[in-house]
Amino acid sequence: MNLVLFFLLAAVAVWTSVYFLRAKGVSAAGDDAQAARPAVQSLIHEAGDLPFFWDAIFSEADWRFILNERSPLLTELFTEERRALAVQWLNDRAARIRAVRAKHLENSRYSQDLNVLAELKLLALFQYLIVLCGCMSLVVRVAEPTAPRKLALHFEKMAGRLGPGQEAAIPHVPAPAEELPRSRP
Amino acid sequence: MNQVHTARLGNPDALRAYDDLWQRTLGKVSGDLNRMIYLASTRDYNSGRYHHAGLEASFGYEAVKQALETAHQEIFWKLTRSSLEQLVLELEIYIRSSGESPEELLRTWRTLQPYRVAIPLEADAMAAQLLLSNLKLGLEVLQKRRSQPANHL
C-alpha cells in the first residue's frame, strides 16, 4: 500500500515538474497571449452580472409584498417565477466561474513566476464557488424564494475575492467595468 | 446631465437631443413604464432603429438615435431595479393614463404580453427576464385586486 502511495506521489511530482518546465518553455508565446487575454474581472463583471441582480431575485421586500396580498395563487406564481430566475442566474454564475477557471488555467501555463500556493488557493476558491452554486440550486428548489439570500450574499463576497486572488497569480487585472447609470429623476 | 450620460452620448448634438427629449417629452410623461413604452414606440419593429421626426429635424438622425437609445436603456435599468411594489404602482399609473378600461387593458396585457416588445434591443437577457417576470407578477397582483377589491380598501 505504501509503495503504491509512493509511486503515486512520485508520478504527481514528475507531472508537476514537466508541467512547469513546459510552461517556462512557451513563455515567449505566453507574453503575447497575456497581452491579448480578456481580464478576469471583466469576465466576471459582464452585463447581467450586476450586484443588484441576486438582491432582486431573492428580495425579502417582494416576498413580503406578495404575502400581504394573501393569495395562494399569487404566492405560487411568485415562487415559480423567482425559482426560474434563480436557476437561470445560478446556471449562468456556475458557467461563468467554470469559464474563468478554464481561462485562468490556460493563462497560468504561460506565467513565468507562478505562485503555486496562490494558484492552489484560487483553484480551491473556484471549486468552492461551484459547490456553493450547487447548494443554492438545491435550496432554491426546496425552500421559499428568499431562503438562498444569505448564501447568495456569501457567494458574491467570495466571488469578489477572485479579483485579489487572481491579482496575486497574474499581475495585470484591469479595473471592473463602469457601473451602469441610474435613470434621470 | 451627469458624466455617465456624457460618456454614453458620443457628441454634443446627442447630448442636446437627450436634454430636449427629457424637457419636451419624457419629463411630461408620468411614470417610467409609460416612458419606456413611449420610447419603445419610437423604434421600428423590423429594423430596431429609433426615429423621432421632430428631434431629427433639429439634431440629425444619428444624435437622436443615440439620445433615444440612451434614454430607453436608462429607464429600462431603473425599472429593472424597482421593487415589485414600485412596479405595481408603475402599472397603475400606466393603466390610468392609457384611457382604456382597466379590465380590457389587463386582459390584453396578461394575454398578449405586449410589454415584451418594450425591452431595449441591447438589454441584458437576464435583466430583461427579471423585468418581464416582475411585470407579469405585477399584472397578476392588479388582476387579483380587481377581483377581490375588499382586501385593499
pLDDT digits (tens, 9 = 90+) for A19-61: 444 444 434 433 433 332 233 334 334 444 566 788 999 999 9
Q: What is the mean pLDDT of residues A58-86?
A: 95
> What is the DSSP annotation of A131-175?
HHHHHHHHHHHHS-TTTTHHHHHHHHHHHHTHHHHHHHHSS--PP
Interface with A, mutate which of B85, B87, B91 (most A CBs under 10 A): B85
Q: What is the mean pLDDT of residues A141-158?
A: 89
Tell me which chain B residue has its CA closest to the CA of residue A76.
Answer: B137
pLDDT-derived band at A163 (thresholds 50, 70, 90) equals low
Q: Rounded distance, CA B64 to CA B45, Å? A: 17
Amino acid A159: pLDDT: 84
Indicate the residue type of A13. Answer: A
Measure CB to CB from residue A59 to each of B75, B83, B145 and give the nearest one. Answer: B83
Residues 42-101 of A with CB under 8 A from B: 47-48, 50, 52-53, 56-57, 59, 61-62, 65-66, 69-71, 73-74, 77-78, 81-82, 84-85, 88-89, 92
Which among A43, A23, A42 has a CA at the least distance from the CA of A33?
A23
pLDDT per residue rounded down to tens, chain B (153 residues): 445 555 678 789 999 999 999 999 999 999 999 999 999 999 999 999 999 999 999 999 999 999 999 999 999 999 999 999 999 999 999 999 999 999 999 999 999 999 999 999 999 999 999 999 999 999 999 999 998 865 554
Amino acid A2: pLDDT: 59
Question: Is B50 inside any structural domain?
Answer: yes
Residues A180, B77: C-beta atoms closer than 8 Å = yes
For residue B72, the SS3 value is: helix
Neighbour tally for B3: CB within 10 Å:
8
Give the global pTM: 0.75
**Phi, then psi, of A173 in degrees rounded to 5:** -125, 105
> What nine digits make up the cell of B67?
439620445
Indicate the residue type of B103. Answer: E
Q: List all residues 6 or more positions away from B109 whose beta carbon is below 8 Å from its beta carbon.
A: B115, B139
Question: Is B93 inside any structural domain?
Answer: yes
Interface check B29 vs A, CB under 8 A: no
Looking at the structure of chain B, the number of domains it has is 1
Question: Is B105 inside any structural domain?
Answer: yes
Tell me which chain A residue has its CA closest to the CA of residue B86.
Answer: A62
Minimal Cα–Cα distance from B27 to chain A, Å?
9
> What nine digits make up the cell of B11?
457628441
Handedness of CA B130, B131, B133, B137 (dihedral sign): positive
Chain centre distance of CA B132: 12
Buried b (16+ CB within 10 A) or exposed e, A19-40: eeeebeeeeeebeeeeeebebb
Residue A14 has pLDDT above 60, yes or no: no
Q: What is the mean pLDDT of residues A3-25?
A: 48
**Domain hosting residue B13, numbered range:** 3-147
Minimal Cα–Cα distance from A125 to chain B, Å?
25
